[in-house]
Amino acid sequence: MLIVAERINTSRKYISQAISSGNVMFIQDEAKAQDLAGADYIDVNAGTFVDEEAEKLKWVINAVQEVTDKPLCIDSPDPEVIKAMVPLAKKTPMINSITLEEERLEGILPVVAEHKAKVIALCQSEESMAETFEEKVTIAGKLVEKVTSAGIPLTDLYIDPLVYPLSTNPLSAVATLNAIKKIMELFPGVHTTCGLTNVSYGLPARKLVNRAFLVSAIAHGLDSAILDPTDRNLYSALQAALVVNGRDDY
């Protein structure tokens, strides 16, 4: 189970404040905590700075790489930012993310292929974000075709079928779980991942809902997740789910 640590993201107020003020110790403490908690990749995102994204993300990457050897997940929808950041990575990174939008495919896939990086692909097209089971599986198939046609191995592709808040769509989790299972069956070698905390947005007891969804997703074949590894209850549920599903050898 590949874990992408999500905490260094400027959508979080304290991360944004730390980057704005140049508080390198705060960012480094976040990186070290996630590393020690079991992260395989450290996600780095400075998307809320918009016009300053490249500058701020470079600062974050340099800060994080001073205190951890874990590879980075470089997180931006902007192909130009991705192109500028990938050469800064000391280890082969993961790139977060592509969609079926032509600008992102044409801008990011050549970078992924050149650097032999892993890539997260969202089930999203120019027209819509996949909501139903059928839409998720259809878009996943198109993403597989685009990525493999660019010379990228299927084993480097991590498909995120997208999960929407249960507070607005009570069947979103079911659609995503079924899509995970079908995608893994249809495309042997591909991986699935998800930003699981979306599922609980707007609900009470969010952490409990997150844990329940993660356990169910693992049972449906999920083999990667974007999450907070320092949440010990969540991480413990993940480990227990792997054991129960025969994916932990003692």
DSSP state of 77: S
Distance of CA 165 to the CA centre of its chain: 17
Backbone angles phi, psi at 21, to 5 degrees: -90, 0
Closest CA to 153 of 186, 194, 112: 112
* pLDDT (0 to 100) of residue 49: 97
* pLDDT (0 to 100) of residue 249: 84
Query: What is the rounded distance in angstroms from the CA atom of residue 180 to the CA atom of residue 120?
Result: 14
Q: Which residues of 94-132 are buried (b: 16+ CB within 10 A; e: fewer)?
A: bbbbbbbeeebbebbbebbbeeebbbbbbbbbeeeebbe
Q: What angle do CA 70, 16, 206 make, to 5 degrees?
A: 80
Neighbours of 248 (CB within 10 A): 12
Residues 64, 42 contacting (CB under 8 angstroms):
yes
* pLDDT (0 to 100) of residue 3: 98
Could you tell me the mean pLDDT of each successive run of 10 residues in the chain, 250 residues long?
98 97 98 98 97 97 98 97 98 98 96 98 94 98 98 98 96 98 98 95 97 98 97 97 93
Give DSSP secondary structure letters for 150-186: TT--GGGEEEE-----TTT-TTHHHHHHHHHHHHHHH
